Amino acid sequence: MIVMKFGGSSVESASAIRRVAAIIKDHRSRNPVVVVSAMGKTTSRLLELAEEAARGHVYFVSKQLAELQDYHFDEAAECVSGEPLERLESSLKRHFRDLHTLVSSLAEDGRELTPAISDEIAAYGERMSSEIMAAALESAGVSAVHVDARRVILTDDRHTQATPLYWETYARLRRLPELYSGRVAVMGGFIGSTERGATTTLGRGGSDLSASLVGAGISAEEIQIWTDVDGMLTSDPRICGEFYRLRSISYEEATEMARAGAKVLHPDSVMPAIRQHIPIVIRNSRNPGNEGTRIGPGAAGSGLVKSIACRENRMVLEIRAEGTRALEPEALAQLSDGQGTSPEWIGRQGNAVFVAVRGSAKPDPARTPFEGCVEARIHPCSAILTLAGDRVANAPGLCARVRNAMKQIPAMVLSAPQSEHAIVVVVPQDQLRESAALLHREFFARPDPSLFAPCRAEIDDRKENPQAMDHRAPAYASRKLRLVMELGR
């Protein structure tokens, strides 16, 4: 058995869903279990809708809910037909009636938008996309069954950022008959439930974690993460115009890249797979013939930089103690602006530690929680580049190469916190692109073809545009009108 996870951009439209159905059909012999994200930007729209409802903006809520409804019905009608479409439309009607009732209680009755209600609203995206995907498979001639992920993904009750109950989840997955029925099981990612049945979400990007949980629970031979790029890349194509695809990397390298800003993989998603030694493959749903990037135990090319990940728009605090006294990073959690800012320990240089917060945050350096004389210096408008690779921190001469490549830029080269797989470089935000290009030229001028493959990445402007559904043309007017009338009853 394998697990195939498809992100929001892979199921954002009817054509995309048909493409995914064809990919799944090609893998039918491997008994796939399919995990899908919400369609396009649906989760963002649902959360925005919930917030506006809590503010009492009734007109905005009604308009947005109608648009969201039209989007799902229109795309469903183009990729599903016959009896599966009839069943699907009936189910979607129920979902939108329930969603309408829920947001109306916020907008009109003054009900409080609690984290639990926010989870309940956000979960509709995956609940509906997974039903559409299962119906699309049926229409494509693939026997499929929909599974409500809340039946099997058990979590604690920390709404909006729930932690899975791993062993309880694995036990439910192993007992779920739909997974062993000979049909393709389809479920939504990102969502789960408490043992009492309350809907929870795993945090943004949690669909990857859902896929990893399912893979570990069924002891899958492979977990496939299908997205809109060919795999893990040597640089971010939006920042650096030069990049290659990594053929394979280790679990540790992938985790380091994800934590450092690479957006292809959720930082925590590899953990269940690591424990079960299950390989993860990153593949492109728009280019299914490409082999992608394989993530597994062990690493080739020890001491080589594999990727340059970027984090933009950070404020960096340099905290230096008197003499050579070491600073304890655990105490840095006390550095906060009082508004939920989570400072991140990014590295060390001599007796100084470096902490980063997002550029809009305002931590107070005077609140450093250390005894004695402490000097704090702020580096505003900074960017952080992380060079990731197997044991690069200990590679002879590598830091010297970084400094030499960056000699024209005021860069700070740091040792990464508690990791031998990364080197951190802090540069001014306005010199990020130049810095990334210089480092890529230094370390990937002659890439080893056994480790790196040529790659062409298509930059999707919709990732920067929250109005991801504006490309749709009006259709199915009579059905829309009927559905709006029914929801308003």
Question: Digits of tens for pLDDT over the chain (489 positions)?
Answer: 999 999 999 999 999 999 999 999 999 999 999 999 999 999 999 999 999 999 999 999 999 999 999 999 999 999 999 999 999 999 999 999 999 999 999 988 778 999 999 999 999 999 999 999 999 999 999 999 999 999 999 999 999 999 999 999 999 999 999 999 999 999 999 999 999 999 999 987 789 999 999 999 999 999 999 998 899 999 998 899 889 999 999 988 988 888 888 777 776 777 898 889 999 999 999 999 999 999 998 878 888 999 999 999 999 988 887 654 455 555 555 555 444 456 888 888 888 889 898 866 555 555 555 555 578 889 999 999 999 999 999 899 999 999 999 999 999 999 887 789 999 999 999 999 999 999 999 999 999 999 999 987 655 444 443 333 343 333 333 344 343 334 444
Instruction: Report pLDDT digits (tens) over 32-47.
Output: 999 999 999 999 999 9
Residue 28 is classified by DSSP as: G
As given in the structure block, the two tokens for residue 147 are: 């599974």
Tell me what pLDDT residue 480 has.
Answer: 41
HSE (side-chain half, CA atoms, 13 Å) at 208? 21
Tell me what pLDDT residue 360 has.
Answer: 60
Tell me what pLDDT residue 473 has.
Answer: 36
Tell me what pLDDT residue 397 has.
Answer: 93
Tell me what pLDDT residue 484 has.
Answer: 38
Count of residues in the chain: 489
Gap between the Cα atoms of 396 and 363, Å rounded = 36
Are the C-beta atoms of residues 134 and 87 closer than 8 Å to each other? no
Helix, strand, coil percent content, the chain, rounded in steps of 5: 40, 20, 35
As given in the structure block, the two tokens for residue 158 are: 């920390």
Nearest to 385, CA basis, from 452, 442, 433? 433
Are the C-beta atoms of residues 346 and 316 closer than 8 Å to each other? yes
Tell me what pLDDT residue 299 has.
Answer: 73
User: Are 2-228 and 307-455 equal in CATH topology?
Assistant: no
Strand residue runs (E) in 400-448: 412-415, 422-428
Sign (positive/negative) of CA torsion 76, 80, 86, 87?
negative
The domains of the chain are located at 2-228, 307-455
Instruction: Give me the architecture of the 307-455 domain, per CATH.
Output: 2-Layer Sandwich (3.30)
Instruction: Report pLDDT digits (tens) over 352-377.
Output: 889 898 866 555 555 555 555 578 88
Gap between the Cα atoms of 249 and 453, Å rounded = 13
Q: Which CATH class is domain 2-228?
A: alpha beta
Gap between the Cα atoms of 214 and 207, Å rounded = 11
Gap between the Cα atoms of 288 and 25, Å rounded = 12
Q: Which helix (H) or strand (E) holds 210?
A: helix 206-217
3-class DSSP assignment, residue 188: strand
Strands 32-36 and 2-6: parallel
Strand residue runs (E) in 215-292: 222-227, 244-246, 248-250, 280-284
Alpha helices in 109-190 (DSSP H): 115-122, 124-139, 166-175
Are the C-beta atoms of residues 86 and 93 closer than 8 Å to each other? no
Strand residue runs (E) in 136-236: 144-146, 184-188, 191-193, 199-201, 222-227
Gap between the Cα atoms of 153 and 219, Å rounded = 15
145 burial via Cβ count (<10 Å: 0-12, 13-18, 19+) = middle
Tell me what pLDDT residue 474 has.
Answer: 36
409 burial via Cβ count (<10 Å: 0-12, 13-18, 19+) = middle
Number of CB atoms found within 10 A of residue 351's CB: 14
Are the C-beta atoms of residues 387 and 439 closer than 8 Å to each other? yes
Tokens 């409500």 — which residue? 148
Gap between the Cα atoms of 315 and 329, Å rounded = 17
Tell me what pLDDT residue 330 has.
Answer: 55
The strand pairing partners of 319, in sequence order, are 353, 376
